[in-house]
Structure 1
Amino acid sequence: MSSSIDKIKGLANEAVGNVKQGIGNATDNDKLNAEGKAQELKGEAQRTTGDVKDGAKHVADKVTGKT
């Protein structure tokens, strides 16, 4: 998966997770709140993966002289 796709999926998961947490808090639904937090963390991990891929590509480009 490309770094851009990882970042987009990460942002989407973070957004959905935040919505679930908000609804869970508003309705006193601990399960939904926990699901939202888990999805938010998954999104953060996906975004981080995208950032790492970008960094690795940048380093590889420098080493091979593509920059």
Structure 2
Amino acid sequence: MFLAILPFVVACKNGPATKTSDHETVADSTYLRLAEEVRQETLRSWKAYKQYAWGHDVLMRNSKA
């Protein structure tokens, strides 16, 4: 799952590919703040998955066996 969203996390970290004008500083700061929130939530989810579900969801999902 993490590898599937990795390109989006990297894209958020690098910022937008193009900039259309110099009046986008507020939009850029908002974009970067939201991108950082997405990155932090992704890392939080990944850590929880590693701690609680890693290895338990492969064979018998409901029993954690």
Q: Which has the larger radius of gyration?
A: 2
Higher helix share: 1
